[in-house]
Chains A and B, each alone.
Chain A
Amino acid sequence: DVKVTQSSRYLVKRTGEKVFLECVQDMDHENMFWYRQDPGLGLRLIYFSYDVKMKEKGDIPEGYSVSREKKERFSLILESASTNQTSMYLCASSGLAEQNTGELFFGEGSRLTVL
Protein backbone atom coordinates (compact mmCIF):
# COMPACT_ATOMS: atom_id res chain seq x y z
CA ASP A 1 0.00 0.00 0.00
CA VAL A 2 1.08 3.53 -0.71
CA LYS A 3 2.00 5.38 2.40
CA VAL A 4 2.15 9.15 2.68
CA THR A 5 3.43 10.22 6.06
CA GLN A 6 3.10 13.69 7.50
CA SER A 7 5.52 14.25 10.34
CA SER A 8 3.21 16.06 12.74
CA ARG A 9 -0.50 15.47 13.27
CA TYR A 10 -0.97 18.49 15.53
CA LEU A 11 1.14 21.62 15.91
CA VAL A 12 0.68 24.80 17.90
CA LYS A 13 2.86 27.75 16.92
CA ARG A 14 3.04 31.44 17.70
CA THR A 15 2.57 34.27 15.25
CA GLY A 16 5.81 35.05 13.45
CA GLU A 17 7.38 31.65 13.95
CA LYS A 18 8.84 29.72 11.05
CA VAL A 19 6.97 26.45 10.57
CA PHE A 20 8.04 23.35 8.68
CA LEU A 21 5.55 20.68 7.64
CA GLU A 22 7.17 17.53 6.34
CA CYS A 23 5.72 14.91 4.02
CA VAL A 24 7.30 11.66 2.92
CA GLN A 25 5.95 9.09 0.47
CA ASP A 26 7.29 5.59 -0.01
CA MET A 27 6.12 4.77 -3.54
CA ASP A 28 8.67 6.63 -5.62
CA HIS A 29 5.96 9.00 -6.85
CA GLU A 30 6.91 11.86 -9.12
CA ASN A 31 4.10 14.21 -8.13
CA MET A 32 3.56 15.71 -4.71
CA PHE A 33 1.04 18.28 -3.53
CA TRP A 34 0.22 20.44 -0.53
CA TYR A 35 -3.40 21.39 0.10
CA ARG A 36 -5.03 23.24 2.96
CA GLN A 37 -8.50 22.31 4.12
CA ASP A 38 -10.88 24.76 5.74
CA PRO A 39 -14.56 24.29 6.61
CA GLY A 40 -16.81 25.56 3.85
CA LEU A 41 -13.88 26.09 1.50
CA GLY A 42 -12.91 22.50 0.80
CA LEU A 43 -9.34 21.77 -0.27
CA ARG A 44 -7.25 24.44 -1.88
CA LEU A 45 -3.94 23.77 -3.61
CA ILE A 46 -0.95 25.63 -2.17
CA TYR A 47 2.00 24.23 -4.11
CA PHE A 48 2.84 21.15 -6.11
CA SER A 49 5.90 19.49 -7.55
CA TYR A 50 6.35 17.20 -10.52
CA ASP A 51 9.98 16.38 -9.89
CA VAL A 52 12.90 16.89 -7.56
CA LYS A 53 13.86 20.54 -7.12
CA MET A 54 10.83 21.54 -9.15
CA LYS A 55 7.87 23.45 -7.74
CA GLU A 56 4.84 25.25 -9.04
CA LYS A 57 2.40 27.57 -7.37
CA GLY A 58 -1.10 26.42 -6.79
CA ASP A 59 -4.13 28.56 -6.14
CA ILE A 60 -3.11 30.05 -2.78
CA PRO A 61 0.71 30.18 -2.52
CA GLU A 62 0.97 33.50 -0.66
CA GLY A 63 2.71 33.13 2.67
CA TYR A 64 4.07 29.68 1.86
CA SER A 65 7.11 28.15 0.23
CA VAL A 66 8.12 24.56 -0.48
CA SER A 67 11.20 22.45 -0.83
CA ARG A 68 11.76 19.19 -2.69
CA GLU A 69 15.39 18.16 -2.38
CA LYS A 70 14.65 14.44 -2.56
CA LYS A 71 12.01 12.63 -4.57
CA GLU A 72 10.27 11.15 -1.53
CA ARG A 73 10.09 14.32 0.55
CA PHE A 74 8.08 17.50 0.04
CA SER A 75 8.22 20.18 2.71
CA LEU A 76 5.85 23.07 3.24
CA ILE A 77 7.33 26.15 4.90
CA LEU A 78 5.53 29.02 6.57
CA GLU A 79 8.21 31.71 6.77
CA SER A 80 6.32 33.77 9.34
CA ALA A 81 3.19 32.10 10.60
CA SER A 82 0.02 34.14 10.93
CA THR A 83 -3.30 33.34 12.58
CA ASN A 84 -5.03 33.07 9.20
CA GLN A 85 -2.81 30.10 8.44
CA THR A 86 -4.49 28.07 11.15
CA SER A 87 -5.80 25.14 9.16
CA MET A 88 -5.56 21.46 8.29
CA TYR A 89 -2.73 20.80 5.84
CA LEU A 90 -2.88 17.75 3.61
CA CYS A 91 -0.04 16.30 1.60
CA ALA A 92 -0.72 14.04 -1.40
CA SER A 93 1.29 12.16 -3.99
CA SER A 94 0.76 10.37 -7.27
CA GLY A 95 2.93 8.54 -9.73
CA LEU A 96 3.14 8.12 -13.46
CA ALA A 97 0.68 5.24 -13.26
CA GLU A 98 -1.89 7.66 -11.92
CA GLN A 99 -0.96 10.45 -14.29
CA ASN A 100 -3.95 9.82 -16.50
CA THR A 101 -6.37 8.74 -13.82
CA GLY A 102 -6.09 11.49 -11.25
CA GLU A 103 -5.86 9.30 -8.19
CA LEU A 104 -4.05 11.00 -5.34
CA PHE A 105 -2.80 9.34 -2.18
CA PHE A 106 -3.20 11.51 0.89
CA GLY A 107 -1.47 11.70 4.21
CA GLU A 108 -3.40 11.89 7.48
CA GLY A 109 -3.09 15.64 7.68
CA SER A 110 -1.35 18.13 9.95
CA ARG A 111 -3.58 20.39 12.00
CA LEU A 112 -1.77 23.66 12.61
CA THR A 113 -2.92 26.24 15.13
CA VAL A 114 -1.22 29.64 15.09
CA LEU A 115 -1.73 31.69 18.24
Chain B
Amino acid sequence: AQSVAQPEDQVNVAEGNPLTVKCTYSVSGNPYLFWYVQYPNRGLQFLLKYITGDNLVKGSYGFEAEFNKSQTSFHLKKPSALVSDSALYFCAVRDTGGGNKLTFGTGTQLKVEL
Protein backbone atom coordinates (compact mmCIF):
# COMPACT_ATOMS: atom_id res chain seq x y z
CA ALA B 1 0.00 0.00 0.00
CA GLN B 2 1.15 3.51 -0.67
CA SER B 3 2.07 5.88 2.14
CA VAL B 4 3.67 9.23 2.86
CA ALA B 5 5.64 10.32 5.89
CA GLN B 6 6.09 13.83 7.24
CA PRO B 7 8.90 13.55 9.78
CA GLU B 8 8.41 16.97 11.39
CA ASP B 9 5.37 17.86 13.45
CA GLN B 10 6.32 21.52 13.40
CA VAL B 11 8.65 23.77 11.45
CA ASN B 12 9.56 27.25 12.63
CA VAL B 13 11.07 29.82 10.32
CA ALA B 14 11.64 33.56 10.37
CA GLU B 15 9.79 35.72 7.87
CA GLY B 16 11.89 36.29 4.76
CA ASN B 17 13.88 33.11 5.23
CA PRO B 18 13.48 30.10 2.95
CA LEU B 19 11.30 27.28 4.22
CA THR B 20 11.23 23.55 3.61
CA VAL B 21 8.56 21.10 4.73
CA LYS B 22 9.64 17.51 4.26
CA CYS B 23 7.77 14.55 2.82
CA THR B 24 8.89 11.07 1.84
CA TYR B 25 6.77 8.53 0.04
CA SER B 26 6.42 4.82 -0.51
CA VAL B 27 4.52 3.59 -3.55
CA SER B 28 4.77 0.89 -6.15
CA GLY B 29 4.92 2.30 -9.63
CA ASN B 30 5.00 5.95 -10.57
CA PRO B 31 3.89 8.24 -7.75
CA TYR B 32 1.24 10.93 -7.99
CA LEU B 33 2.14 13.34 -5.18
CA PHE B 34 0.35 16.36 -3.73
CA TRP B 35 0.62 19.13 -1.18
CA TYR B 36 -2.41 20.62 0.55
CA VAL B 37 -2.62 23.46 3.07
CA GLN B 38 -5.10 23.97 5.89
CA TYR B 39 -5.62 27.33 7.57
CA PRO B 40 -7.16 27.38 11.07
CA ASN B 41 -10.75 26.13 11.18
CA ARG B 42 -10.85 25.65 7.42
CA GLY B 43 -10.86 22.75 4.98
CA LEU B 44 -7.85 21.74 2.94
CA GLN B 45 -6.76 23.63 -0.14
CA PHE B 46 -4.80 22.15 -3.01
CA LEU B 47 -1.32 23.68 -3.43
CA LEU B 48 0.46 21.67 -6.08
CA LYS B 49 0.96 18.25 -7.60
CA TYR B 50 3.59 16.10 -9.27
CA ILE B 51 2.46 13.58 -11.85
CA THR B 52 5.22 13.45 -14.39
CA GLY B 53 7.76 15.69 -16.08
CA ASP B 54 9.91 18.35 -14.48
CA ASN B 55 11.07 17.46 -10.98
CA LEU B 56 10.47 21.02 -9.75
CA VAL B 57 6.78 21.75 -9.53
CA LYS B 58 5.40 25.24 -8.98
CA GLY B 59 2.13 25.83 -7.21
CA SER B 60 -0.02 28.43 -5.53
CA TYR B 61 1.15 31.29 -3.25
CA GLY B 62 4.78 31.02 -4.41
CA PHE B 63 5.25 27.47 -3.20
CA GLU B 64 7.17 24.84 -5.10
CA ALA B 65 8.09 21.22 -4.50
CA GLU B 66 11.00 19.11 -5.58
CA PHE B 67 10.44 15.51 -6.59
CA ASN B 68 13.46 13.28 -5.95
CA LYS B 69 12.99 9.72 -7.11
CA SER B 70 16.24 8.35 -5.70
CA GLN B 71 15.45 9.70 -2.23
CA THR B 72 11.69 9.05 -2.57
CA SER B 73 11.06 12.58 -1.38
CA PHE B 74 8.74 15.42 -2.31
CA HIS B 75 9.72 18.40 -0.16
CA LEU B 76 7.70 21.60 -0.18
CA LYS B 77 9.71 24.81 -0.47
CA LYS B 78 9.35 28.54 -0.63
CA PRO B 79 12.24 30.98 -1.14
CA SER B 80 10.93 33.62 1.26
CA ALA B 81 8.42 32.81 3.98
CA LEU B 82 5.55 35.08 5.00
CA VAL B 83 3.75 35.19 8.34
CA SER B 84 0.57 34.42 6.39
CA ASP B 85 2.09 31.09 5.32
CA SER B 86 1.62 29.84 8.87
CA ALA B 87 -0.71 26.84 8.52
CA LEU B 88 -0.89 23.06 8.58
CA TYR B 89 0.59 21.37 5.51
CA PHE B 90 -0.25 17.89 4.29
CA CYS B 91 1.58 15.72 1.80
CA ALA B 92 -0.51 13.10 -0.03
CA VAL B 93 -0.12 10.29 -2.53
CA ARG B 94 -2.75 8.97 -4.90
CA ASP B 95 -3.86 5.38 -4.67
CA THR B 96 -2.26 3.29 -7.39
CA GLY B 97 -5.61 1.63 -8.01
CA GLY B 98 -6.82 4.73 -9.78
CA GLY B 99 -9.63 7.10 -9.04
CA ASN B 100 -8.94 9.99 -6.75
CA LYS B 101 -8.40 8.23 -3.48
CA LEU B 102 -5.58 9.96 -1.62
CA THR B 103 -3.53 8.85 1.36
CA PHE B 104 -2.39 11.76 3.51
CA GLY B 105 0.55 12.26 5.82
CA THR B 106 0.19 13.31 9.42
CA GLY B 107 0.71 16.97 8.67
CA THR B 108 3.38 19.57 9.52
CA GLN B 109 2.54 22.77 11.35
CA LEU B 110 4.44 25.67 9.82
CA LYS B 111 4.97 28.71 11.99
CA VAL B 112 6.48 31.80 10.42
CA GLU B 113 7.55 34.47 12.89
CA LEU B 114 8.51 38.09 12.47
Choose, from A11-19, A66-74, A75-83, A105-113, the stretch at the interface. Answer: A105-113
Distance in Å: Cβ of A52 to nearest Cβ of chain B: 16
**Residue A64 CB within 8 A of the other chain:** no
Task: Please tell me if the beta carbons of B90 and A43 are within 8 angstroms of each other in the complex.
Answer: yes
Residues of A within 8 A of B105 (CB): 42
**Residue A94 CB within 8 A of the other chain:** yes
**Residue B104 CB within 8 A of the other chain:** yes
Contact A103:B49 (CB < 8 A) given known A31-B99, A33-B101? yes
Question: What's the count of A-B pairs with C-beta under 8 Å?
Answer: 67
Task: Please tell me if the beta carbons of B101 and A106 are within 8 angstroms of each other in the complex.
Answer: no
A42 CB contact (under 8 Å) in B41, B43, B104? B104
**Residue A21 CB within 8 A of the other chain:** no
Size band of the A side of the interface?
20 to 34
**Residue A24 CB within 8 A of the other chain:** no
Distance in Å: Cβ of A58 to nearest Cβ of chain B: 8
Task: Please tell me if the beta carbons of A102 and B32 are within 8 angstroms of each other in the complex.
Answer: yes
Q: Within residues 18 to 77 of chain A, which ones have a CB less than 8 A from any CB in chain B?
A: 31, 33, 35, 40-45, 48, 50, 58
Task: Please tell me if the beta carbons of A48 and B101 are within 8 angstroms of each other in the complex.
Answer: yes
Task: Please tell me if the beta carbons of B99 and A99 are within 8 angstroms of each other in the complex.
Answer: yes
- List A residues at the B interface (Cβ < 8 Å): 4, 31, 33, 35, 40-45, 48, 50, 58, 90, 92, 94, 98-109
- List B residues at the A interface (Cβ < 8 Å): 6, 9, 32, 34, 36, 41-46, 49, 51, 90, 92, 94, 99-107
